[in-house]
Amino acid sequence: MIPSTAVDAVIISCGTELVTGQCVDTNSAWLSAQLTPLGVKVVEHVTVGDNVTHLASAIRRALDGASMVILTGGLGPTLDDVAREAIAAAVGEPLEENSEALAQVRAFFDRWQRPMPESNRRQAMIPRGCEVIANPRGTAPGIRYSRDDRHLYAFPGIPAEMRAMFNAAVLPRLHAVTGGATTESARLLCFGISEAKLGEFLADLMQRGRNPSVGTTASQAVLSVRVLSEGGSAEEARRLLQADVAEVRRRLGTTIFGEGDDTLECVVARLLVEHGETIATAESCTGGLLSKRLTDIPGSSAYFLRGYVTYADAAKVDLLAVPADLVSKHGAVSEHVAGAMALGCQRAAGSDYAISTTGIAGPTGGSPPEKPIGLVYIGLAHSTGVETLRVLCGDHLTRDEIRDRSCKTALNLLRLRLLGVGSAEGR
Residues numbered 272 to 311 that lie near a copy of itself (CB under 8 A) are 281, 283, 286-292, 294-296, 298-301, 304-311
Binding a copy of itself (rule: CB under 8 A), the pick from 2, 34, 67, 155 is 34
Which parts of 118-147 interact with a copy of itself (CB under 8 A)?
119-120, 136-137, 139
Contact in structure between 421 and 392 (CB atoms under 8 Å): no
Which segment (165-173, 229-237, 240-248, 397-405) binds a copy of itself by CB under 8 A? 397-405
Which segment (24-32, 171-179, 382-390, 418-426) binds a copy of itself by CB under 8 A? 24-32
| Nearest-approach distance from CB 238 to a copy of itself, in angstroms | 17
Looking at beta carbons, which pairs linking 295-300 to residues 24 or more positions away fall under 8 Å?
A: 296/263, 296/265, 296/266, 297/265, 297/266, 297/269, 299/273, 300/269
Which parts of 233-272 interact with a copy of itself (CB under 8 A)?
none
Q: Decide whether 147 or 302 has the Cβ nearer to a copy of itself.
A: 302
How far is it, in rounded angstroms, from Cα 401 to Cα 103? Answer: 48
| Nearest-approach distance from CB 406 to a copy of itself, in angstroms | 12
Binding a copy of itself (rule: CB under 8 A), the pick from 103, 169, 319, 321 is 319
Binding a copy of itself (rule: CB under 8 A), the pick from 146, 182, 185, 263 is 185
Angle at Cα 78 formed by Cα 76 and Cα 80, nearest 5°?
95
Q: Decide whether 30 or 247 has the Cβ nearer to a copy of itself.
A: 30
Q: Decide whether 238 or 306 has the Cβ nearer to a copy of itself.
A: 306
Q: Decide whether 121 or 131 has the Cβ nearer to a copy of itself.
A: 121
Tell whether residue 196 is a contact of a copy of itself (CB under 8 A). yes
Which parts of 147-166 interact with a copy of itself (CB under 8 A)?
158, 160, 164
Which parts of 76-95 interact with a copy of itself (CB under 8 A)?
76-80
The CA distances from residue 241 to 95, 137, 227, 229, in Å, are 47, 38, 7, 6
The CA distances from residue 120 to 11, 101, 134, 138, 164, in Å, are 26, 11, 15, 11, 20
Q: Decide whether 221 or 271 has the Cβ nearer to a copy of itself.
A: 221
| Nearest-approach distance from CB 244 to a copy of itself, in angstroms | 14
Binding a copy of itself (rule: CB under 8 A), the pick from 4, 217, 233, 328 is 217
x/- binding map, residues 345-384, to a copy of itself, per CB under 8 A? ----x------------xxx--------------------
Which parts of 41-60 interact with a copy of itself (CB under 8 A)?
42-50, 54, 58
